[in-house]
Every structure is written in structure tokens, then in C-alpha cells.
Amino acid sequence: MGRTPLPDGGVRYDMATRERRRLSVVAHLDGSRTLNVYGTDADVLSVRLAADEAAVVIDAVMPARHSPSLLATAELGLVAERIELPEGSRWQGRPLGDTRMRTETGVSVVAVLRRAEAIPSPGPEFRLASGDTLIVIGTREGVGGAGEILGR
């Protein structure tokens, strides 16, 4: 599956099925999704789903009940998202606490992915590096604000 960051901060995921159909899902920052299905001809089916509708489809495709300990964040009004620290970020080499992300947005950084390792629950003294991917959880607005702070 291909993953393409979009200029507005969203992400497009593309894949081809065994039946030679192409699927594209655009994950918008507001939590909504656009699902595009391309046939073997030039025909296209495009459906825009609100965040709550997308959560229902996601649960239908990969039900949370398969894992009783999985947190269904959409039902709680929360989102979890990956935010990559861009190359040359002003936060490179600085402690996570300097961003004031939690104070300003209410978002929690639950882990940082750096190269081949995951650092769970980084504290405010954790030093950020370009290319770090922060796993954050919070409201849609808070996650959007965290992306702005980090310069996404």
C-alpha cells in the first residue's frame, strides 16, 4: 500500500486489489475520509465519509471486538495520529517539553518512533530529532494544533 502525504496535512493511501481495482483513501485532518474505487475502465466511485461514518466503516472492516483491549478512540471523541518531525525543524535537539504541546493542545505524546525503535511515554526532557514520528492522542482539534506546533 502506498502512502502519500498531502499538502493540507492529510494522507492518501493507495492500493490495488487482486481484481485489478485501485482503491484510494484520503484521510483528511478533520477526521473525515474520502474513499475512491477505480474500476478497470475509467469509472470511479467516490464517497466522502464524516469522521463518525469513517469510524463505523473502519470497525466493519477491522472490528475492535477482535481485540478486547483495543481502545475505540472515535467513540470517545479522540483520535490517535502519527506526526513526523520535519527535517530542519526548530525543535530538533530540543526537549519535548519545550514545545508546550500538551499545555497548548491537551494532546499526549504516547510514543516516539525513531529509526528502528519505539520510545514509549517520552517525558518532557526527551530530546527530539529530525525524522522522529510522534504518536499522539487527543481531540481532532488538539491533534491538528500539535501538527501546527511541530511544523507539519
pLDDT value of position 53: 77
pLDDT along the chain (152 residues), means of 10: 80 83 84 82 80 73 52 67 90 96 95 91 95 90 91 75
List beta partners, residue 45.
37
List beta partners, residue 44.
38
Whether 38 contacts 22, CB under 8 Å: yes
Q: Which residue has the cell 519535548?
A: 96
pLDDT value of position 113: 93
